[in-house]
Structure 1
Amino acid sequence: MKINLQIKAAGKRKAILEKHAYHLPETPKSLQDFIAMIVTNEVATYNQKAIDAPLMPYLTTEAYLDGEYVGKIGFNDRKNDAEQALQPAIDNALQALEDGLYRIFINDDEATLDQPFSLPNDATVTFIRLTFLAGRRF
């Protein structure tokens, strides 16, 4: 199944991740299944990253500006050889959705855990990060 995935942050005009094609192994039956599929793909990608850092790491101007935009400038290297465990990552993603740290929109309609779930082929799925609200007292 093919979808178009994008990631945005509330309060930002430019998307963190512009629309790009994303392939799912099968059609998810629920929002929990969908999140689990995305997390599974991302954990596998992370765990496949090279652990060894280059002898002389450097940042391109583009990488620096991208890091500055999202608030973290780094070399995208892994600090240790421990792999990310899949089930805790899925649990964290589901808990973060329940806690309101991000929202999911499918073709401009918000998807929630308590609604029936439908994901048409070639749908545009938008994750909106709301974490700017976390960690502050007013």
Structure 2
Amino acid sequence: MSTITVTGKVLGRSKPLFTNWRVPIPPIIGAGGEVLTLRILLTQIVLAEVAAFQTRQEQRRLIQVLSRAEIEQKVLLGKVDMGGEELNQEVDPQAAVANALQAFEDGIYFVFIDDVQQHKLDSEVVVNPDSQLMFLRLVPLVGG
């Protein structure tokens, strides 16, 4: 399955919003069927991230045996965590998708695919395995 790279930036900051990651390109039904739209692509990305979050949460429930090197590395990072935690953070995937789509429509973030800004959720988008999707989050002015 082909994937695209997802990146995130905050306007006015040099540090990325998150570490780049890859997401599967949704299959496209051709010959009179559905085309890939920004709405479908964003939905796929949000659902993939919700699934990854749930997987990370499940993994944190397991107690890990750490090597001496892993412990030393975690000490340098400021926290040694061996897991065994029940976080019970529920995420409704459909609500997450709805929030992401509404935030796009409200102009809270912009989406660029291969450096081309996307303006409408229902516009057709073209992505390739080497495509890059960037989320550009805007920062509201304080007091304005």
* TM-score for both structures, normalised by structure 1: 0.70
1:1-138 → structure 2 map (5 Å cutoff) = 1-17=2-18, 19-27=20-28, 29-49=36-56, 50=58, 51-52=60-61, 61=76, 80-113=87-120, 116-121=123-128, 122-130=130-138, 132-133=139-140, 136-138=142-144
Deviations 1:9-29 (A, max 9, x none): 100123234554432342461
Q: Which runs of 5+ in 2 are unaligned?
A: 29-34, 65-72
Q: 1:29 to 1:60 in 2, by over 3 A?
A: farther
Q: How many residues align?
A: 123
* Pair 1:112–1:60, CA change in 2 (3 A): farther
Task: Name the CA distance, whole Å, in 1 between partners of 2:20 and 2:26.
Answer: 19
Q: Normalized against structure 2, the TM-score is what?
A: 0.68
Radius of gyration: which is bigger? 2
CA contact (8 A) 1:5 1:19 kept: yes
